[in-house]
Structure 1
């Protein structure tokens, strides 16, 4: 079994840059039509692929456990792996939530949030913008552990259940003119009271975590297929995704989840793990993608506040470049400090 996947590290780094481009509306001033295509189709699959690899590497560890271990000891090790992963993600989330507190306070004040809404925001929604991915991963892993190791469902049932969950996310933000939306409307209304976007939640992410689990468990089978077939599958899936989304693409219609993303993310992930590569990816690149993702929104917030207070008009291209460079600087500083202070747990919680 392979231990290094350089294309995955490169994809995560480039993916973080592409996400920053979305949140700074980089393409909007250049070509508005391409901006919607870029946002809704090209980059929309990046986070689902992040979910897949979060699960993939966890289940590779489980696959690598000694098969001679007793059932009880194996279950204890698996539980510890899930627990360790979830705690690490939560500490990362907690650390960056504190850093994003100024922006979060502004948002909570503008939405007139009470104590209940704030509690739901922190534990379910995501305390700072883009943190929904971290919260969804924690919830998704808990769901997978329960379904797999407590009630012992196989992968087929896992796919069925999480596809139903994903369908709820899709209906919430994309297919609202159907009977299912009407049935779920009371739930959706309750979610909106707490400012919870179902499309950006574990309803979205858990399916892709299951896909990562299956790829890890069947890696030998999947890697027997030539990588160019997966690339062709990803490109074809992108075409189908465009057809699904293009029926109403625009400023006020940017779906967070739709069915076309499933094959796109699946084939992209398989392509990235199946391509033979001897590229040596520097450790700093592997570490930077997380810090760029978690830091960029607070950078955007402060840059916009500064420009607003000083009457400076900033183009979306300029905002992107400032945010990208600043997030890279933050990543390098955190990496260098962590490397020179190995026992500093505070820094480890941020990266």
Structure 2
């Protein structure tokens, strides 16, 4: 969500000076999104102001994953143009395998000679452990983008809207128990059924790809983009408020309908700020915080009881420290961060 998922190659923005080719505004956005992910997973403000905590956790903070997909899809376009897709896939796969092994401490069970144990093991390998699903989802999303990269815009738009709409439907049908008492209710309440590369990853990854391919960040006026951000924010808060007052805190919401408007709008608005630098340190911290924060949380949680909000801040601070320690290693081993 991630520096690692974004190319480390220079961003080919012709308007930037040759020595300042990195758009730092995007790096700052990624850092903010990484902190949002931490707040989402730990439960920022849920122990002090439940309504605000819910609106953050199942509303505002849910922009993080889709925007990360958009960012990586946006920079995937020039990678395909340069014929460097194989290198990109190799890097992401290595990153995924490395952190899957690191988190094996938490998810690899004692060896059980049972069919269920084996199936659970391979399910985790394929889908991804907890937050690592993003990396496996990005691999699948990128493969689908390659399939649809030459499709007509209308065809691609129909596919994107159809797939994301299906994910939204499955999630809401599950959380609202539309098919209560049936096998569909059980299936639709499985997180990985709707939060995956097909119904969440690919739609936003392709949106980012299309923004770059068709130059939408240049063709849309700043006024229209800011209007889209405002409308999207209002719809997002309305949607999450509706879920809170109707269903309470029952169930989480990854595939919120309003994300389809607000996330691309936020990305374009920030991208067009165009703050250039040749440093990628901020982006590296965003990657590190995302990758290590669950390890920090799961290590501290059994031993530290300070409330969700204080724990969120503690996890952020410790994650920053661990990332700082990993940066020198990442210079020698590229797939660490």
Query: TM-score higher than 0.5 here?
Result: yes
Structure 2 counterpart SS, 1:89? helix
Counterpart position of 1:97: 100
TM-score normalised by structure 1 residue count: 0.80
Counterpart position of 1:26: 44
- 1:107 deviates by 11
Structure 1 counterpart SS, 2:194? coil
Structure 2 counterpart SS, 1:44? helix
Cα pair distance change 1:283/1:261, threshold 3 Å: same
**Aligned with residue 310 of structure 2, among 308, 312, 318:** 318
Cα pair distance change 1:108/1:17, threshold 3 Å: farther
Matches within 5 A, 1:78-157: 81-105=84-108, 113-123=116-126, 125-126=127-128, 128-148=129-149, 152-157=150-155
Q: What is the CA–CA distance in structure 2 between the aligned matches of 1:323 and 1:139, rounded to whole Å?
A: 30
TM-score normalised by structure 2 residue count: 0.83
Structure 1 counterpart SS, 2:130? coil
Matches within 5 A, 1:3-42: 3-42=21-60
* Structure 1 unmatched runs, 5+: 66-76
Q: What is the CA–CA distance in structure 1 between the aligned matches of 2:42 and 2:183, rounded to whole Å?
A: 33
Q: What is the CA–CA distance in structure 1 between the aligned matches of 2:111 and 2:310, rounded to whole Å?
A: 28
Asked whether the equivalents of residues 168 and 255 of structure 2 are also in contact (C-alpha less than 8 Å), the reply is yes
Counterpart position of 1:210: 206
Cα pair distance change 1:242/1:281, threshold 3 Å: farther
Asked whether the equivalents of residues 25 and 274 of structure 2 are also in contact (C-alpha less than 8 Å), the reply is no
Cα pair distance change 1:59/1:23, threshold 3 Å: same
Cα pair distance change 1:27/1:113, threshold 3 Å: farther
Q: What is the CA–CA distance in structure 1 between the aligned matches of 2:153 and 2:266, rounded to whole Å?
A: 20
Matches within 5 A, 1:227-306: 227-249=222-244, 250-278=248-276, 280=277, 282-305=279-302
